[in-house]
Amino acid sequence: MKDINIYPEPSYETLIPFLLRWEGGEVDDPNDNGGHTNKGVTYGTYAQLCRQIYGVEPSKEHFVALTDVEVGLIVKHFWDKSTNYNEIRCQKVAEAITTWRWGSGNGGLMWFQQMLNKEYDCKLVVDGIIGSGSVWFINKLDQDILFKNCLKYRKARFETICKNNETQYKFLRGWLNRLTDFGKRWNETI
Q: What is the pLDDT of residue 184?
A: 97
Is residue 1 domain-resident?
A: no
Is residue 5 domain-resident?
A: no
Give residue-wise pLDDT tens across range 47-90. 999 999 999 999 999 999 999 999 999 999 999 999 999 999 99
Q: What is the pLDDT of residue 190?
A: 87
Measured between alpha carbons, how far is 33 from 183 in angstroms, rounded to an integer? 25
Range of the domain at 136: 11-185
Q: What is the pLDDT of residue 2?
A: 46
Q: What is the pLDDT of residue 1?
A: 42
Task: Measure the CA angle with vertex 100, ends 58 and 24; round to 5°.
Answer: 55
CATH of the domain at 98: 1.20.141.10
Is residue 6 domain-resident?
A: no
Is residue 111 domain-resident?
A: yes
Is residue 166 domain-resident?
A: yes
Is residue 114 domain-resident?
A: yes
Is residue 4 domain-resident?
A: no
Q: Which residues in the chain land under pLDDT 70?
A: 1-8
> Could you tell me the CA-to-CA distances from 33 to 66, 81, 103, 125, 173 in Å, in that order?
21, 22, 11, 26, 16
pTM above 0.75, yes or no: yes
Among 154, 152, 150, 101, which Cα is nearest to 128's?
101
> Could you tell me the CA-to-CA distances from 16 to 12, 62, 102, 122, 142 in Å, in that order?
7, 20, 11, 30, 25
Count up the domains in the chain and report the number: 1
Strand order in 26-27's β-sheet?
Answer: 26-27, 37-38, 41-42
